[in-house]
Chain A
Amino acid sequence: MAREKFLPRDRISDWLGALGRERRLFVPRKEGGSIVLRPFRSGEEGLFGVDLTGSAKTVIFPACQELFSYGQTKDRENPESTLLKLYPSISAEPTAVFGIRPCNAKGFNVFDRVYLGERFPDPYYQSARENTVFVTLACERVDNTCFCNWVGGGPDDTSGSDVLMTPVRGGFVAEAISGKGAVLLDTPLMGMAEGELAEAEAVRAKAKKDLGPAPEMDLIMESIRGLFDDLRFWEHVSDKCISCGACTYLCPTCYCFNISDEAYGLTGRRLRSWDTCMSFQFTLEASGHNPRPTKAHRLRNRIGHKFGYFPALHCASPACCGCGRCIRNCPAGVDIREILLEAIGHAKGLDREVANE
């Protein structure tokens, strides 16, 4: 990849201003007690070293998105028939997102496997994805809830980023990861990085060291899938879950949606909105039957999907980026890491029992 560039701290606002002139630009901003992505305001510096409360998936996969609008007109000659017209609403503005963590961007790899698959590529997702660049900041510090290294990531993971920036004294070392990212670094505001490279490497190495070693995760897929019928296990780990959707809506990899037609007389809109498998309604069938009637069934699905079924379909890759949002924002303190370790321990215990028989 192209050689790293250096952006002095006092030029960050100019650079963001330049990015924002040619595309929509979103930056992290403090609002109330949380950190949200908002359109860049001229002169703004952005926030550094913080993690968004929610995830950047809102940019590509909004909480609610119009798929098309429609209108019906009555045929005067034939009153029984109506003419239905559909107005598709795919729009894709060139967009950049600045200042998110690498794990957040990595989450889109999970989306891509589903929404850009060969059989059913999703045009709404595809157009937004192709038109968006992600400038991520390598993590200088590791939070108590971080576990990116459990799922194959790291504080300087590049797999979802177009540009990775590493904070150093006096500025940032910027590395283009994709062609789309290289374009952003082609600016007179940046020079070639020289002496800063070693410092950037040291910053990244320290964050990795602070993460500590990840536990052995080789058995996770089999362990989770093997526990499918053990409802007592899921009842135990979901005791304190209150069945809200905070974990799924904040998650950079949760991609499930619901479709609603919002009708206004003869016109209307078809909306796609986030859905959550923590909700009773998620699998409620028209007959009234619900295959996931309790929170134990539903938490089993959430963990099972991320670490069992999804990896089984997609090259053993978990649907989790290890960002820790679900842990730090859970009103009841449900810790997905604890459940994973318990699942692995449980499977190992069962193996031992079988071996002893």
Chain B
Amino acid sequence: MSRLDELKTSIKAELPGLDCVIGWQAGFDPLHNTPLFMRSTEDVDRLAWGPLNVHNCANYLPALRGRKVGIVVKGCDSRSVAELIQEKLIDRDNLVIFGMPCSKVVDLSKVGIVLEKAGTGLGQVKEVTIGADEIVVTVPGNSFPLKMADVAADKCLGCQFPNAVLVDRFFGDPLPSATDAGVKPPDPAGFDAMAPSERIAFWKFHLERCIRCYACRNACPLCVCRDHCLAGSREPHWISQENTIKEKLFFQVAHTVHLAGRCTECGECQRACPMDIPILALKRHMSSVIRDLFDYQAGTDPLAVPPLLFFRAEEKNIDEGGL
């Protein structure tokens, strides 16, 4: 029995006691998987596992609070689950977590760049074959073997948590961590090296095309204000309707600050952005600040209290004596 079959069998066994189990299934074309809400054994038969399971289904959990549900997680998704539990936004007792070791997911934008260079595009993909270290993407008249190292999501390249940090049923042999805690994750946008003026120029260029759909916000599993976001508030009128970079950047900074010490860098904000704006750079930067100040990584220990959710008279890494 394959690992996936074992997982399916396990979900089927648990399903009668659960409202639903959230996972993934094949989507509208061979390159796209899509979240799956399993309620019957036929649904479970459609469950897929692999590098196309790009979504972080932890996003759905807060809205299902009060019901007993299951969720299938990658390592990174499990950090969001842990963080939601840490913040008491979901109940551990009402959750069954299923996991398998994850060896990277695909960044479809990167696949798109390769295909566009060859004169074709994501919309032309007719077949996808998934191998151990590569995926082969076929369009009419051509096939592209793509190394996972080249098309994996940036978050996967230095992945510390290929296995779930919190799990009830785990199938397969745990994978080794790609990097140890403390090693700096990749900085694809080159954001860290930029001077403040360059950063502003970077955001001015990229946010020009932001359409303020707030997919970044809604795809974020830790963005839990949901229907009561400051961006939708008219009284007080925090954010103007004016379609300016100032307003867009204001929201992105508010989002980042609100996620300080909570963001697990799952990258859903950036993946969800229909305009391909590299907004994860802001959150990555904030996470590195949090790491330096508090020696803390969000969503790695369900029993830990996030650093900005409690007060300590003296912080080890913050020298307040000079004030």
Which residues of A pack against B, CB within 8 Å? 31-34, 36, 50-51, 53-54, 62-64, 141, 143-146, 239-240, 242-246, 248-250, 258, 260, 262, 271, 273-274, 276, 279-281, 324, 327-329, 331-335, 337-338
Contacts and interface: CB of A to CB of B under 8 A. Distances in A.
Of B113, B214, B241, most A-chain CB atoms within 10 Å: B241
Contact of B37 (A33, A50, A141, A239): A239
Of A34, A242, A276, most B-chain CB atoms within 10 Å: A242
B37 A244 contact: no
Q: How large is the interface on B (under 10, 10 to 19, 20 to 34, 35 or more residues)?
A: 35 or more
Given A262-B240, A331-B271, 16 more contacts: A32-B209, A32-B276, A33-B113, A63-B211, A242-B215, A244-B219, A244-B272, A250-B211, A262-B241, A262-B242, A276-B213, A327-B28, A331-B219, A333-B32, A333-B55, A338-B28
Contacts of A248: 213
30 contacts: A31-B208, A33-B109, A33-B276, A34-B275, A53-B274, A54-B209, A62-B243, A63-B212, A64-B243, A144-B123, A144-B124, A239-B35, A240-B35, A242-B59, A243-B218, A244-B214, A246-B213, A250-B213, A271-B241, A274-B212, A280-B232, A328-B122, A331-B215, A332-B35, A332-B55, A333-B27, A333-B32, A333-B33, A334-B34, A337-B28
A37 to B, nearest CB: 10
A64 B242 contact: yes
A62 B113 CA distance: 29
B285 interface: no
A32 B124 contact: no
Contacts of A324: 123
B172 interface: no
A28 to B, nearest CB: 12
A260 B234 contact: yes
B112 interface: yes
A54 B275 contact: yes
B307 interface: no
Contacts of B234: 260
Contacts of B112: 33
Contacts of A258: 241
B277 interface: yes
Contacts of A145: 28-29, 123
Given A32-B209, A273-B243, A246 B37 contact: no
A249 B211 contact: yes
Contact of B213 (A32, A143, A244, A337): A244
A117 B257 CA distance: 46
A335 B28 contact: yes
A257 to B, nearest CB: 10
A276 B274 CA distance: 15
Interface string B146-182: 0000000000000000000000000000000000000
B282 interface: no
Contacts of B226: 243, 280
A240 B37 contact: yes
Contacts of A144: 28-29, 123-125
A258 B34 CA distance: 31
Contact of A280 (B35, B227, B274): B227
A145 B28 CA distance: 8
B210 to A, nearest CB: 9
Sorted from nearest, which 9 A-B pairs have the closest CB atoms?
A: A143-B123, A33-B276, A333-B34, A331-B272, A64-B243, A280-B227, A329-B274, A244-B218, A244-B215
A32 B277 contact: yes
B278 interface: yes
Given A144-B28, A280-B232, A333 B35 contact: yes
A217 B248 CA distance: 40
B121 interface: yes
Interface string B201-212: 000011011011
B12 interface: no
B262 interface: no
A54 B276 CA distance: 12
Contacts of B277: 32
Contact of B275 (A32, A50, A143, A332): A32
B274 A250 contact: yes
B275 A281 contact: no
Nearest to B275: A34
A333 B28 contact: yes
B215 A245 contact: yes
Nearest to A50: B121
B284 interface: no
Nearest to A293: B227
Contacts of B32: 333
Contacts of B240: 260, 262
Nearest to B277: A32
A281 B241 contact: no
B74 interface: no
Contacts of B28: 144-145, 327, 333, 335, 337-338
